[in-house]
Structure 1
Amino acid sequence: MRVGVTILPERRWSQAAHLWRAAEDLGFDHAWTFDHITWGGLPDSPWYAAIPTLTAAAGVTSRIGLGTFVTTPNNHEPVQLMREVYALGDISAGRFLLGLGAGGDLDSGILGHELTVRQRADRFAEFARLLDRLSRETEVTADGQWYQAREVSTGAGPVRGTPAGSRVPFLVAANGPRTIRLAAEVGDGWITAGGPGVASADDWWRRVAQACRRLDEALSARGRERHTFRRVLNLDDQPTFALTSVAAFEEAVGRADGLGFTDVVVPWPRASEPFRGDLAVAEAVAAEVLPRWRG
């Protein structure tokens, strides 16, 4: 089990750099940031772009994985995004993790994109499939409903620090049947947050278990091995903040492990809501829990 944290891109870099170093120094396996134009949890806060933030984080760390939670068609175009992915994969020496998702209403509305749920799903499928081609083929031409490409040369070569022929991992965020099937098609792994609006922790875990069953079915349908597919559980949406205590976190990790997850991610504690918590709990989790789950 790998354990990561989410660090919100709300601070100037001079105030944020130490958080990324701390995440690495404490021994967490990966650190992520939200890739939005703005975020409903902090609508009035300054908000800094994800790719530059992770590029800066790569410069002050040496081991920890660095990921987007998650990159969407709302504010990215596939051809240019793939250039950024290549660059960040190289700068980080193969530590970059590309989280991909369909995107939500807030960013879409800011940009004047009035899309139905079906249109957003259609756009995301086209977005993800074009990114997949751009990461695997040497020249790409595409003429889709949402995106076009004309003889795009993609020969950047393997990412520094990774095996020959490998790419930056694509981790597809999905909860519903259609996007879970897409994750099984183009992803190197899957991200789920279970979803908000549940009455209890048990209800949330039942929802996560249902999504796991859907993923198993989708992987089986495509002939993909279950044990080779990375599964990341984002603990943001569960009713109890996972870093309330060491015991609460260890219970969440145990339940995630029982469902076959390879990774869990929890928000870095903040002094106020959202994700209000005590940094001492994160430090105790790193010292006491992480070694047991790696044992």
Structure 2
Amino acid sequence: MGTQGLRFGIVLLPQDRWPLAREKWRRAEEYGFDHAWTYDHLAWRSLADEPWFATVPLLAAAAAVTERIGLGTWVASPNFRHPVPFAKDVMGLDDVSEGRLLLGLGAGGAGFDAEVTGPAPTPRERSRRFAEFAELLDELLTHPVTTRVGEFYEAHEARMIPGCVRQPRVPFVMAANGPRAMALAARFGQGWGTFGPSFPGEESPDLSPAQAQERWWDGLAAMTATFDDAARAAGRDPASIDRYLSIDGAPVFSLESYATLAEGAERAAALGFTDVVVHWPRAEGIYAGSEAVLEEVAARLPELRATAPR
């Protein structure tokens, strides 16, 4: 990305009815964010019993009321998606947005989405399924007609006409935290996306918030080195792949204050990230924060962008 500086994105959870959601998507563009995302789930974690709308129609509506901002899934997974109908949806979103779609893809985790249509796959099955999902999506979106029979999916003369506005297809932003997924991201991704390291089963009661934050950044640095290796193994220059950091994977919410985000952006840039993604503050619970901070961040985006990735 060179001297252009960091790009900034924002996640809008699909919880609001459209009259309110429409204004937020418009504001995201007016604020000057480079891209805006929504989660691709049927229900999600602590918000499972709260309002939650479908991703594809929401992004189509967002595309219709914006003009410049990139729009994306953070992230779509095989948990309840089949590549053939989903590729048709992707082609449609790419068309409605006039080539602004960013397709975030991930393996899918455990939880509601993994079990709502049947038994959840094992971790090994999930890894194999994601590889096949990405391979078939890539083929579908770059060919007018596709036939393929795999372990998890079949496509028989699946037609994708007229194809994507963005050629040869919409960009894939591949979510990957482990070596196998990173290898897949290095193979198919125009971008690598991560929420940083997680420490399952470790509540770390003896760590202060600052110490937990430092541990997270240390883990993220190790992950970037692993991804560099994966890119080289795939025959690609690591610097040629955009890097998207969902910075709210850190223990401290990025929009706790402008200073918190500014420090995080500087550290992300130092690790080579080209894009930083925050969440629209919610009134309570996860991602709780103040829209006043969001407005300050928006007003000072040029300062934040001046932090150039290495």
Q: When the two structures are superposed, what TM-score results if normalisation uses the length of structure 1?
A: 0.95
**Which of 214, 224, 227 is the matching residue for 2:236?**
224
- 1:135-146 paired onto structure 2 within 5 Å: 135-146=141-152
Equivalent residue, structure 2, for 1:292? 303
1:55 alignment partner in structure 2? 60
Quick one: which of 95, 112, 115 aligns to 2:118?
A: 112
What is the 5 A alignment of 1:195-274? 195-197=197-199, 199=204, 200-274=212-286
The one-letter code sitting in structure 2 at the alignment partner of 1:182 is: L
* Distance in structure 1 (CA, Å) of the matches to 2:240 and 2:125: 31
Q: Which moved more, 1:253-262 or 1:128-137?
A: 128-137
**AA at the equivalent of 1:215:** F
Tell me if 1:10 matches 2:12.
Answer: no
Residue 189 of structure 1: aligned partner: 191
2:207 paired residue number? none
Counterpart code for 2:274: T
TM-score, normalised relative to structure 2? 0.90
RMSD between superposed Cα atoms in Å? 1.3
Cα deviation for residue 158 of structure 1 reads 4.0
Q: Displacement, 1:90?
A: 0.8
Question: Offset of 1:214 from its aligned partner?
Answer: 1.3
Higher relative CO (Cα under 8 Å, sequence separation at least 6) belongs to: 2
Q: AA paired with 1:269?
A: P
Q: Aligned with 2:245: secondary structure? A: strand
Match of 2:96 among 91, 94, 97: 91
Question: Within 5 Å, which residues of 2 pair with 1:116-195?
Answer: 116-159=122-165, 162=166, 165-195=167-197
* Alpha-carbon distance in 2 for matches of 1:144, 1:7: 35
Q: Deviations over 1:6-38 (max 9, x none)?
A: 111011112211111111111111111010010
Aligned-pair CA distance for 1:111: 1.9
Counterpart CA distance in 1 for 2:164 and 2:80 is 26
Q: How many equivalent pairs are there?
A: 290
Secondary structure of residue in 2 paired with 1:105: coil
Query: Quick one: percent identity of the two aligned structures?
Result: 48
Consecutive unaligned residues in structure 1, runs of 5 or more: none
